[in-house]
Structure 1
Amino acid sequence: MSQESLIVLATLIAYKLLLVGVGVWVSKRNQTESDFFIAGQGLGPWVAGLSYAASTSSAWVLLGFSGFVYLNGFSALWMVPGIWAGYVAIWLWFGRRLRSETAEQGHVTTADFLAGGQSAGGKRLIGAVAAAMILFCFIFYIAAQFGAAAQAFETQFALPRVESVLVGAGVVLIYSLLGGFWAVSVTDMLQGALMLLVALLLPIAALIAAGGPSGVMATLQANENAAWLSLTGDMPAMVLIGFIVGVWGVGLGALGQPQLITRLMAVKDEAARKRGFQIAIIWAIAVFAGMTVLGLSGRALVGAGSNGEAVFYQVARDYLPPIVGGLVIAAVLSAVMSTVDSILLVAASAVSRDLGVARRFRGQEVTVSRIVMVAIALIAVWMTLALPSTIFARVLFAWAALGAAFGPVIVMRVVGVQSGHLAVLAAMIIGFGLTVFFNAMGALDASTLSGPGAVAAQWAQLPGDPFERVFPWVPALLILWFGRVRAAV
């Protein structure tokens, strides 16, 4: 192993030991389900803000978004306003209701909020359907993150893919099992800080290596076509509108993500919520700006033809000293872990609490939740190895499906509309089902189909995926509106 690889490895080992140490440190705080799943609703602003930011961004920002900019050029920047709008909506619009109702009603999971105000039977049905959707989507989501971790180890140490996936999964499991939501949130705070540092250092190094802003633009103008350099991507007006709606739909999907909603449920008071938003949005602006610069500078440095999601590593390896390169790889693993630990915890809560598994083992709820977490991680490891896909594609599918299933219900509850449990169930199923449908249509060859199938496949393949990410919200919201029974308290 080279000296450079040894430095990177030493950095990673020290970092992983720190994360495990956090898990051990907070392990004694987990006495109840509320402690294990939402930290007893005791998160302060720095932990809540940075852990939210790290969880919502994950490897798809460091690798996926920078690669998206690298491949698509300036038109990719239309995604950013939608992402930032999602931060504003969740913290400033959803946040007050999520936090206050959690304190008043003793909610522990997102499904508890979705089912708020329903009968006991309605709550059980909503919880069971929500749990099934969470499990389905989060297996894909976790597999995407494990794939990102494997890519980091493969790139730096030439480790086989199986060993790479197992190492990343093992560390996340250890501290998540020990510390629950407390450990997840504290480690996510540390990981968010590291991701921010690297999102500033790496783009600056790439920008300097490419000759500064003027050098980057001169190189791009000399080598790239007009579509890559244009904010419109040379798309016709109606296609451009669909593209913008689709990429803004990524931010819309945030409104239904359980791993993000629980952060707001866990904030300790209103002052912490408001301060947490300021911290989270400053982080988001800095990181997305940095990854934009990296994508553009990386294109100028390495040219077209590279794997977009590997540009991050290539720039780190070629233009940073080894010790800083170790930090960069640690940042990718931070992005992976900050998402995997959160969604593992949410998936475990869906099975143990929302499906009622833990109720059969009174007094052992936390132990049951830990067993479920291990089982989910093992399934995701298998999927990572058996079903290769890009990080960006896997994450955005899971993100859109859960957003369309839960987002409309949460929006209606926040604005004061209480729908009957059958309407809630129908809205969840329709929103989720349409997302899956358009995702499947997008993988088909429209030229081999006829009639409505060909039309659906053509719609699903529009740039930006507006039908997959946005359209499913429309019938779901209509169902909830017409199925309303009274104004929510």
Structure 2
Amino acid sequence: MNLTALITLLIYALIIVGVGYWAARKSKSEEAFLLGNRELGPIVAGLAYAASSSSAWVLLGFSGFVYAVGISALWMVPGILIGYAAVWLFAGPVLRKASTQNGNLTLTDFLLEGSGRRTGQAIRAAASLMIAFCFAYYVASQFQGAGIALDGLFGTGLTGGVLIGAIVILAYTFFGGFLAVSIINTLQGMLIAVVAVVLPLLAFLAVGGLDGLLLAAGQQGSAEYHSTFFDISGGRTGWLATGFIVGLFATGFGALGQPHLTAWIMAIKDAKSRVIGAGVALVWGLAVYTGMAILGIAARVIIGPDVAAESVFFQLSELLLPSILSGIVIAATLSAIMSTVDSLLLVSGAALGHDLGVFRKLNINSVLGYRLGILLVCIAAAVVTVSFPATIFDRTLFAWIALGASFGPTVVVRAMGLKPAGLAVLLSIVLGFTFSLLFEFVLDAGPGGVWSRIIPWLFALLPFLLIKELKKHS
């Protein structure tokens, strides 16, 4: 298995680095490097969006969450899918129109439209620093997944695995920009979908199909199973159950504030492609999240409740697949991780280079500045990964919630046809981010924490209600 995985990874690494160098020739301008000249078709945009929204989060994190918590974790899936639809179909028309008409290259450009010079500068600074901070955590979660996989295969240690994964990802993103990321994420999205269907199907058959799962559900009070595993509310009742369900469901709405996801909408070539792309992303999301939910439940039956949650994907790969295929699956997992990291790094480079203008002030060429920003965030994420232990699920969840609450309310207000005052946007960003930090580092709300999903959004929406300068688009 190790030899197969090594050969697969080497071939894969050569291909994606080659794509990066090829795309570098077509990524000379700012628009080309950050948005691929806004020429993406629906299949590429839909698959790349879906792959970059999930990665290690769904293959390792979500499957492990279902394995650890039980079927109550499934309340997250409809929220995720509705979040997909909201980005593409609700906010998508305004995002794409504004991007095309006003030359927006980043979500931050979109957020500060209509703001005065001083307020606009403050929004740029606040948004850029928040993106860099959150994406250092977000990228760290993906690096951790790469480190775990490489260490399990080749004994590299977590630090060695993180460094290897970071170097490969950096190589093609640094040079190829958005075009390279789009092509590679499309291929990775296809690969993830195949693995997320085939492996859960094998696991489902291994437990005896639906009859086997129902039998296990009937034994949930035994020593093998926690009594709450097959309970739809995880054993909670009343308001606690309601809060847990709402908290998981509301996770999906964080998609509205993710800069690396809105970039795919801004880059798509026309309105028809956007609608078709939405369908592609939703079908992918339904298949992959359903597959990982089945995998997590089946893993509880096959291997019991006492293994590390985020290792069940790898363990079932080794148990259910021939060694040669198991190596390919683990290589696919690493590709899934890369499919999020590359888009995160690209947006981070744009935040530091374009939005904050750090390198422009040093008279550094804009595209070179974006590349230096990518390098800085990549280094910071590697340091976070090895220095501050956390699960993949928790790291990703924090970044997702914080960015969603910081930028999502403004996107929603704009999508409703309203044009908020710059001060309202600035206050919304600051309040959403501040309360997200409070819940993450002080109150420790956890994956089912309803208030960590709702309160930051409520406070972030408050400035739009208090500042009476909302105007209809002309």
Query: Aligned ranges for residues 391-410 of structure 1 at < 5 Å?
Result: 391-410=392-411
Aligned to 1:417: 418
Which moved further from structure 2: 207-216 or 371-380?
207-216
The whole-number CA distance in structure 2 between the counterparts of 1:62 and 1:157 is: 20
- Residue identity in the other structure for 2:94: R
Match for residue 8 of structure 1 among 1, 5, 9: 5
Aligned to 1:345: 346
2:464 aligned with 1:467 = no
Which moved further from structure 2: 8-17 or 168-177?
8-17
Query: Aligned ranges for residues 45-60 of structure 1 at < 5 Å?
Result: 45-60=42-57
Query: Aligned ranges for residues 137-176 of structure 1 at < 5 Å?
Result: 137-176=134-173
Aligned to 1:262: 263
2:296 aligned with 1:299 = no
1:202 counterpart SS class: helix
Cα deviation code 1:315-341 (max 9, x no counterpart): 001110122212211221122111111
1:29 counterpart SS class: coil
Aligned to 1:487: 472
Asked if structure 1 preserves the Cα contact closer than 8 Å seen for 2:4 and 2:328, the reply is no
Relative distance call for 1:65 and 1:366 in structure 2 (3 A) is same
The whole-number CA distance in structure 2 between the counterparts of 1:31 and 1:218 is: 60
Query: Aligned ranges for residues 106-255 of structure 1 at < 5 Å?
Result: 106-222=103-219, 223-255=224-256
The whole-number CA distance in structure 2 between the counterparts of 1:56 and 1:484 is: 35
The whole-number CA distance in structure 2 between the counterparts of 1:266 and 1:221 is: 50
Match for residue 28 of structure 1 among 25, 41, 49: 25
Cα deviation code 1:469-489 (max 9, x no counterpart): 221111211211322422234
Structure 1 segments (4+ residues) deviating >4 Å: none
TM-score by length of 1: 0.93
The whole-number CA distance in structure 1 between the counterparts of 2:358 and 2:392 is: 31
The whole-number CA distance in structure 1 between the counterparts of 2:259 and 2:410 is: 12
Match for residue 95 of structure 2 among 95, 98, 102: 98
TM-score by length of 2: 0.96
2:234 counterpart SS class: coil
- Residue identity in the other structure for 2:412: V
Asked if structure 2 preserves the Cα contact closer than 8 Å seen for 1:417 and 1:481, the reply is no
The whole-number CA distance in structure 2 between the counterparts of 1:467 and 1:6 is: 47
Cα deviation code 1:212-245 (max 9, x no counterpart): 2212332343242442111122211101111111
Give the Å deviation of 1:180: 0.2
Give the Å deviation of 1:430: 0.6
The whole-number CA distance in structure 2 between the counterparts of 1:309 and 1:472 is: 28
- Structure 1 unpaired stretches of 5+: 444-459
Query: Aligned ranges for residues 316-395 of structure 1 at < 5 Å?
Result: 316-360=317-361, 364-395=365-396
The whole-number CA distance in structure 1 between the counterparts of 2:155 and 2:468 is: 57
Give the Å deviation of 1:189: 0.6
- Residue identity in the other structure for 2:417: G
Could you say what the CA RMSD is over the residues aligned between the two structures, in angstroms? 1.4
> How many residues are treated as equivalent by the alignment?
469
Asked if structure 1 preserves the Cα contact closer than 8 Å seen for 2:78 and 2:249, the reply is yes
Give the Å deviation of 1:297: 0.8
The whole-number CA distance in structure 2 between the counterparts of 1:189 and 1:321 is: 27
The whole-number CA distance in structure 2 between the counterparts of 1:107 and 1:6 is: 46
Give the Å deviation of 1:258: 0.4
- Residue identity in the other structure for 1:465: G
Relative distance call for 1:348 and 1:107 in structure 2 (3 A) is same
2:429 aligned with 1:428 = yes
Cα deviation code 1:80-136 (max 9, x no counterpart): 110010011011111111111111000001100000122233222111110010011
Give the Å deviation of 1:439: 1.4
Give the Å deviation of 1:362: 5.7
